[in-house]
Homo-oligomer: A and B are copies of this chain.
Amino acid sequence: MAFKFQINNDVTFNHDTKLLKKAAQLTPKLTEKVVHPVMLTKVVPNKSKLDQVGMEKVADVSDLDQMKFQRDGKVVLDFGRHYVGKFKLNIRHVGSPQDAPLALRIKFAEVPAELTYESADYDGWLSKSWIQEEVFHIDQLPVELTLPRRYAFRYVELTVIDTSPKWSAVFSQPEVTAVSSADERTLTPIKLTDPDLQKIYDVSVDTLHDCMQEVFEDGPKRDRRLWLGDLRLQALANYATFGNNDLVKRCLYLFGGMTAQDGRIVANVFTSADPQPDDTFLLDYSLFFISTLYDYEQHTHDQTALTDLLPVAQKQMDYALQYIDQNGVFHEDEDYPVFVDWSNEFDKTTSGEAIIIYVLKQFMTLLKETQQETQKYAAVLQKMVTYSLNELFDPAKNLFVSGDQAEVNVSSQVWMTLADVMPAKQAHDVMATAEKELFPIKGIATPYMYHHVAESLLKSGLKQDGIRLLKSYWGKMIDLGADTYWEAFEPENPDYSPYDNPIVSSYCHAWGCTPAYLIKKYLLN
């Protein structure tokens, strides 16, 4: 994820060297794979909308080193799928001696639409520095130009800003060294009878693959960091696919090793240099440390990690329970908000109540596994469930309501279902009602929220509705050309970008990777 800014740069952090050392020791060696473009292309003109931009083949890759480029000459290399890695290229010149530097712009794009925007025109609030574009002045040709930075892309646009009228630039041997900590050899292919679902599954595996680097990154184009909300979903998809459990463990230790002095875990950490916590705090994200540890333990039964990390987990729960009153009612603190989704157009109180219930149950299981007392937490849980069923559920509507205005929204039904607040039969009925009354969903732009909707449908037995949602959301992205799932997508508004411009949007984003998990857990058996 990546969204609103919190600035808390006066917060002091603990650095638990024992935990951080374990995290460092778990740093994966990335697999490297050299790949070459599959064709030379150009952007199809007169189509500037995200869902209408296409690429057109202009030549075979083998033609590249016969092509001469002067001022404003350009070509787009299509690598055939999304990659994360480093790019290099040989450049020579033909004609008279090189009487001026070569000025060359190289732009990396995950989707064709990015190539239709001029970087200088972008004026959104998100940093322009994320635009994947470099300009080089090369005084001496020939050169093997190896770019030092890592990029996320399918397309590489080479634009000659200028040579001189006396000579031309010629490009050859473009290649990418693609990197990932996902090892394809550990992936057991699955074969689905429904080709659409198969494609949805495959793209989710690619998305996860490209986000798996030295940590589970949220997006390899942007922000390239470890967010707890994304980590929880990536870990679930990882168990269903690559099974790199040590990478999950490393990420848990990173979060566990850098808590604020009040004990809270931050929403995300930076890991490109020495690990450093961000200064953003979200109540649900802090709690998902527990959830991620719970899922990890379900898959690994790693007692050492549990012993190391349960005390940190407990602090998250104890901190969160400050916001639960004696009647089991959750009161949100604006300095420690629940995220639930990017959208702030719906009331999140009931979702927050449900998320705390969801995590509290997992936490109590972990306590029991370590033979610890759960009574205190059981009492709170009981109150919260009772309050939820008695006060938040509206029997007339057969739906949960949220907030002072008794707002009915999708998220409340979804999280109460995921939290197992109701018996299975009732959950089925609630979700069926939600599907009938509240679908198609409007105003939700994140695969993160759509994941929870899809899982609540599948979990409550509404299998066909779940499949329909997988196809109408993740499948729709594929219809629009997605090679990997996007950070943001509103099916009812396919051009929507949270940043008003695709040039800084992330089109390979971790929280979209969950179909592999959902399909394997709910649809394969």
Residues on A lying within 8 angstroms of B by beta carbon are 5, 7-9, 71, 95-103, 120, 125-131, 134-135, 137, 139-140, 149, 161-166, 222-223, 225, 270, 272-273, 276-279
Closest-CB distance, A330 to chain B (whole angstroms): 28
B103/A129 in contact, CB under 8 A: yes
| Complex A-B: 22 CB contacts under 8 Å | A5-B165, A71-B127, A96-B278, A97-B277, A99-B223, A100-B127, A100-B129, A100-B130, A101-B129, A102-B129, A103-B127, A120-B120, A127-B162, A127-B164, A127-B165, A128-B162, A129-B161, A129-B163, A129-B164, A135-B135, A137-B149, A139-B272
CA distance A409 to B165 in the complex (A): 32
- Nearest B residue to A164 via CB reads B127
Given contacts A99-B270, A137-B149, contact A166 B5 (CB under 8 A): yes
Which of B8, B97, B140 is the one whose CB lies under 8 Å from A279?
A: B97
Indicate if the CB atoms of B129 and A276 lie closer than 8 Å.
no
Query: How far apart sit A217 and B272, CA to CA, in the bound complex (Å)?
Result: 43
CB distance from A78 to the nearest CB of B (A): 24
Contacts of A225 in B (CB 8 A): 99
Instruction: Decide if A129 touches B134 in the complex (CB within 8 Å).
Output: no
With CB as the reference atom, state the residue of chain B lying closest to A8: B96
Across the interface, do A272 and B129 meet the contact criterion of CB distance under 8 Å?
no
Q: A137-B129, A140-B273, A163-B127 are in contact. Are A99 and B278 (CB under 8 A)?
A: yes
* CB-based nearest B residue for A269: B97
Protomer copies = 2
How long is the Cα–Cα vector from A351 to B45 in the complex, in angstroms?
55
Among B71, B97, B127, the residue within 8 A (CB) of A128 is B71
Complex Cα–Cα for A222 and B127 (A): 34
Q: Is B9 touching A96 in the complex (CB atoms < 8 A)?
A: yes
Which residues of B are found within 8 Å of A97, using beta-carbon distances? 270, 276-279
Beyond the given pairs A5-B165, A134-B135, 12 more chain A to chain B contacts, judged by CB atoms under 8 angstroms and listed by A's residue number, are: A5-B166, A7-B96, A9-B95, A9-B96, A96-B278, A97-B270, A99-B278, A102-B129, A103-B129, A128-B161, A129-B164, A139-B272
Q: Which residue of A8, A102, A129, A273 has the most chain B CB atoms within 10 A of its CB atom?
A: A129
A94 to chain B, nearest CB (A): 9
**B166 lies within 8 A of A7 (CB):** yes
With both beta carbons as reference points, the residue of chain B lying nearest to A125 in the complex is identified as B165
A139→B128 contact, CB < 8 A: no
A498 to B: closest C-beta gap in Å: 15
CB-CB under 8 A from A101, the residues of chain B are 127, 129-130
Partner of A139, one of B9, B96, B149, B166: B149
Closest to A104 in B: B129
Chain B residues within 8 Å of A96, by CB = 7-9, 278-279
Name the residue on B nearest A119 (C-beta): B161
User: Do B140 and A272 touch (CB < 8 A)?
Assistant: yes
| Shortest CB distance A130–B (Å) | 6
Least distance between A147 CB and chain B CB atoms (Å): 10
Closest to A105 in B: B135
Neighbouring B residues of A71 by C-beta, 8 Å: 127-128
Which of chain B's residues has its CB closest to A148's CB?
B139
Contact of A7 among B95, B98, B127, B272 (CB under 8 A): B95
Q: Which residues of B contact A128 (CB under 8 A)?
A: 71, 103, 161-162
A139 proximity list for chain B (CB < 8 A): 149, 272
Determine whether the beta carbon of B134 is less than 8 Å from that of A137: yes
Q: Report B-chain residues with C-beta under 8 Å of the C-beta of A120.
A: 120
Chain B residue nearest to A150 (CB atoms) is: B139
Q: Write the nearest CB–CB distance from A222 to chain B, whole angstroms.
A: 8
A262 CB, min distance to chain B CBs, angstroms = 18
Query: How close is A505's CB to chain B, nearest CB, in angstroms?
Result: 14
A8 to B166: give the CA distance in the assembly, Å.
Answer: 10
Q: Shortest Cβ distance from A209 into chain B, in angstroms?
A: 22
Give, as a whole number of angstroms, the nearest-CB distance from A254 to chain B. 14
